[in-house]
A and B are shown apart, each in its own frame.
Chain A
Amino acid sequence: DGGITQSPKYLFRKEGQNVTLSCEQNLNHDAMYWYRQDPGQGLRLIYYSQIVNDFQKGDIAEGYSVSREKKESFPLTVTSAQKNPTAFYLCASSIELAGTQYFGPGTRLLVL
């Protein structure tokens, strides 16, 4: 059963804490993406990766970090430097950068 999975569904962060959001795909896609969605705003690109061991900053990369050590996995770390982390985070993948993007179910991050 192919697709993109994100975990956890809900995540709570304490002040000053780093948290990591998981994204895994078994679609054999080269490209993967992280977006942030806030109420009343369109999705905004945080980071993207065209291929393993390579990634690029999107429009709002400050306070976030990523890694792409495996083709299937693209974890996102929300660091303590991100002062307004409360949002819905969506991971996506595509065969190539210009291809149709397929989205995971999302992770909602809340600050305690």
Chain B
Amino acid sequence: KQEVTQIPAALSVPEGENLVLNCSFTDSAIYNLQWFRQDPGKGLTSLLLIQSSQREQTSGRLNASLDKSSGRSTLYIAASQPGDSATYLCAVLYYGGATNKLIFGTGTLLAVQP
């Protein structure tokens, strides 16, 4: 069964700290992996997309890595700010053949304390 797991489920850090969010997936035959941000009661905002052939992607203070062989991805947030507080979702795309869908993890709720 294709599953995506995110650990931890919740995280609270003081402002300025660097942090890492983890995502693991059971089926390594992925097409790409995306990290999203969701604010309470809102839709999802795409942060980074990593193709299966890539090892990492960077955008500003965010860096996402992908290790397909071990079924893991990490989202690194540098110098965290209170505005980073949100739920972060990892999603894996399986594409081609019988399966064409994005499978989501349950998310990590991040709180950055001022």
Chain A positions within 8 Å of B, measured between CB atoms, are 4, 6, 33, 40-45, 48, 58-59, 88, 90, 92, 97-98, 100-106, 108
Measured between C-beta atoms, what is the minimum distance from B94 to chain A in Å? Answer: 10
Please report the C-alpha to C-alpha distance between residue A44 and residue B43 in the assembled complex, in whole angstroms: 14
Q: Are B46 and A45 in contact (CB under 8 A)?
A: no
Measured between C-beta atoms, what is the minimum distance from A42 to chain B in Å? Answer: 4
Q: Are A42 and B106 in contact (CB under 8 A)?
A: yes
Q: Are A101 and B101 in contact (CB under 8 A)?
A: no
Report if A100-B46 is in contact (Cβ < 8 Å); known contacts: A40-B106, A45-B102.
yes
Report if A41-B106 is in contact (Cβ < 8 Å); known contacts: A58-B101, A97-B95, A98-B93.
yes
Q: Are A105 and B104 in contact (CB under 8 A)?
A: no
Q: Are B102 and A101 in contact (CB under 8 A)?
A: yes
Please report the C-alpha to C-alpha distance between residue A102 and residue B44 in the assembled complex, in whole angstroms: 8
Please report the C-alpha to C-alpha distance between residue A101 and residue B95 in the assembled complex, in whole angstroms: 14
Q: Is B113 an interface residue (CB 8 A)?
A: no
Report if A98-B32 is in contact (Cβ < 8 Å); known contacts: A42-B4, A43-B104, A45-B102.
yes
Please report the C-alpha to C-alpha distance between residue A45 and residue B105 in the assembled complex, in whole angstroms: 13
A43-B104, A45-B102, A90-B43 known, 6 other contacts, Cβ within 8 Å: A98-B31, A98-B32, A101-B34, A101-B46, A101-B102, A103-B46
Q: Chain B residue with minimal CB distance to A92?
A: B44
Interface string of B92-114 (1 = CB under 8 A from A): 01010000111111110000000
Q: Are B103 and A105 in contact (CB under 8 A)?
A: no
Please report the C-alpha to C-alpha distance between residue A101 and residue B105 in the assembled complex, in whole angstroms: 15
Across-interface contacts of B93 in A (CB, < 8 A): 98
